[in-house]
């Protein structure tokens, strides 16, 4: 990665001398080539137009107006030069403003060299792909199955529960051919939730990903008695180190040529793998619990997806009630997220037990409202039927405890 990145010329835009020192250090540690340093305003634009850097790194702190105005003008003047914002502000509202100003990624201070390199590599790869698509040299593959990415901003919010039940219900209720992929690079527990003992996992596929033919990938799959095929993950994440997101994407692409549905479970962060998979996903299900901390993180995650250029129509929020009676109203959550809730899954204490036993709810629990909502979700995702349950309350009510916590009003 660094051999590509070292050729990259990076322009630093920052008004604050202390912050400049920090960012300069990160740039040096990442062994990037400096294209110079500028402040904000018109001089930054003319300098950038003169020097034509490959990347612009722009620091944003409060008051952010001038920095964001400079970001907007820079991205207008140099639309093919990706601009990355770096900031100590973690507020989702600020991430959204940076995105609207044209930022292609948003990194937090203190800036780590590895993070900077990762971000640069990803935005440049994305830029190159855009260029090739525009030039007509790359086409979206036809005849592919539907890739459903199940993701979320945190651990323990029910991503795997949703992915496993959705995949099973797509297989059983919607009668589709389905493969469930465990792409959680930290803690692969899909197989455990299905009480399966796979002989191969996704990390066995990675070294062979370039050589695999269309059918070759089948030997790494494990069949569940329902007919669902599973590409399991290593329980401890071993084998994921240093794996390029492009390779993961290739594996998913192979599977999408073989199955009606590829359901992908991921780790609890919007990392490079998720970014890369978001590009090939037909549908991105962002799972959130109803807890305030989860809503905040989800808002940040949604802003990130938007900044990455993911079409909002492909992003659907699933509200999974992992806590009994958390009491936060869907309307308040929608307001906090700035995004509609597509689906709500009620709390059910038998979910915990079903996880322990490796017997997902949709296989049993015929009378459970939670199992029913999961089945209906699968039908909806398969485009087979409209939901039978009423949609969540949609009129925002202002002034609740939740909005006070989230917005301070």
Ligand X SMILES: Nc1ncnc2c1ncn2[C@@H]1O[C@H](COP(=O)(O)OP(=O)(O)OP(=O)(O)O)[C@@H](O)[C@H]1O
> x-or-dash pattern for ligand X, window 298-337, by CB under 6 A?
----------------------xxx---------------
With CB cut-offs between 5 and 8 Å by kind, which of Mg ion, ligand X, none does residue 335 bind? none
Q: Which is nearer to Mg ion, 108 or 187 (CB)?
A: 187
Nearest approach, Cβ of residue 360 and Mg ion (Å)? 13
At residue 14, φ and ψ (nearest 5 deg) are -160, 135
Q: How far apart are CA 380 and CA 117, in angstroms?
A: 40
Residue keyed to tokens 């006070």:
404
Q: Is 345 in the site for ligand X (CB under 6 A)?
A: yes
Count of all residues that appear for the chain in the document: 409
Q: Is 372 in the site for ligand X (CB under 6 A)?
A: no
With CB cut-offs between 5 and 8 Å by kind, which of Mg ion, ligand X, none does residue 158 bind? ligand X
Interface residue with ligand X, options 96, 97, 104, 159 (CB under 6 A): 159
Q: Is 245 in the site for ligand X (CB under 6 A)?
A: no
With CB cut-offs between 5 and 8 Å by kind, which of ligand X, Mg ion, none does residue 320 bind? ligand X
Whole-Å CA distances, 50 to 23, 32, 37, 46: 22, 19, 13, 6
Nearest approach, Cβ of residue 189 and Mg ion (Å)? 6
Q: Is 286 in the site for ligand X (CB under 6 A)?
A: no
Cβ-Cβ contacts under 8 Å for 409 (sequence gap 6 or more): 398, 399, 403
Q: Is 160 in the site for Mg ion (CB under 5 A)?
A: yes
Task: Report yes or no: 190 and 230 within 8 Å, Cβ to Cβ.
Answer: yes
Q: Is 161 in the site for ligand X (CB under 6 A)?
A: yes
Using DSSP, state whether 320 is helix, strand or coil: strand
Interface residue with ligand X, options 81, 87, 119, 160 (CB under 6 A): 160
DSSP 130-196: HHHHHTTS--PPSS--EEEEEE-SSSSSSHHHHHHHHHHHHHHTS---EEEEEE-SS---HHHHTT-
Nearest approach, Cβ of residue 235 and ligand X (Å)? 11
Q: How far apart are CA 115 and CA 152, in angstroms?
A: 20
Q: Which is nearer to Mg ion, 160 or 185 (CB)?
A: 160
Cβ-Cβ contacts under 8 Å for 17 (sequence gap 6 or more): none
Kindly state the DSSP code that residue 272 receives in the 8-state scheme.
Answer: H
Nearest approach, Cβ of residue 407 and Mg ion (Å)? 29
Interface residue with ligand X, options 14, 105, 182, 348 (CB under 6 A): 348
Binding site for ligand X (CB under 6 A): 152, 155-161, 184, 187, 267-268, 320-322, 345, 347-348, 351-352, 355, 370
């Amino acid at each position: 990665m660094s051999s590509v990145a070292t050729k990259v010329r990076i322009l630093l835009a920052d008004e604050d001398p202390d912050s400049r020192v920090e960012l300069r250090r990160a740039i040096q540690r990442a062994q990037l080539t400096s294209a110079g340093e500028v402040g904000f305003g018109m001089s930054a634009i003319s300098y950038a137009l003169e020097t034509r850097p490959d990347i612009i790194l722009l620091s944003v702190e409060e008051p952010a107006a001038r920095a964001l105005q400079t970001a907007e003008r820079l991205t207008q003047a140099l639309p093919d030069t990706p601009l990355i914002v770096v900031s100590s502000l973690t507020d989702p509202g600020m991430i959204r403003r940076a995105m609207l100003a044209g930022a292609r990624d948003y990194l937090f201070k203190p800036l780590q060299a590895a993070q900077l390199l990762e971000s640069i590599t990803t935005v440049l790869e994305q830029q190159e792909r855009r260029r090739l698509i525009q030039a007509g040299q790359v086409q979206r593959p036809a005849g592919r199955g539907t890739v459903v990415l199940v993701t979320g901003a945190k651990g323990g919010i029910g991503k795997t529960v949703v992915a496993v039940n959705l995949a099973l219900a797509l297989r059983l209720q919607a009668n589709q051919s389905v493969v469930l992929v465990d792409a959680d690079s930290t803690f692969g527990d899909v197989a455990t939730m299905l009480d399966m003992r796979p002989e191969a996992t996704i990390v066995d596929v990675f070294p062979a990903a370039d050589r695999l033919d269309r059918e070759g990938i089948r030997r790494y799959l494990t069949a569940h008695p329902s007919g669902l095929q599973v590409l399991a993950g290593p329980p401890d994440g071993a084998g994921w180190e240093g794996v390029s997101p492009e390779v993961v994407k290739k594996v998913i692409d192979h599977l999408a040529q073989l199955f009606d549905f590829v359901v992908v479970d991921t780790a609890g962060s919007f990392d490079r793998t998720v970014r890369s998979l978001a590009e090939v996903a037909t549908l991105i299900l962002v799972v959130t619990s109803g807890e305030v901390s989860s809503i905040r993180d989800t808002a940040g995650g949604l802003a990130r997806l938007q900044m990455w250029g993911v079409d909002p129509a492909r992003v659907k929020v699933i509200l999974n009630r992992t806590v009994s009676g958390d009491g936060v109203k869907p309307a308040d959550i929608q307001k906090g997220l700035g995004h509609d809730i597509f689906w709500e899954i009620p709390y059910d204490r038998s979910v915990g037990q079903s996880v322990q036993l490796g017997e997902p709810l949709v296989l049993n629990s015929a009378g459970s409202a939670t199992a029913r909502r999961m089945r209906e979700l699968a039908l909806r995702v398969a485009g087979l039927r409209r939901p039978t349950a009423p949609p969540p309350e949609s009129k925002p009510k202002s002034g609740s405890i939740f909005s006070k916590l989230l917005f301070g009003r």
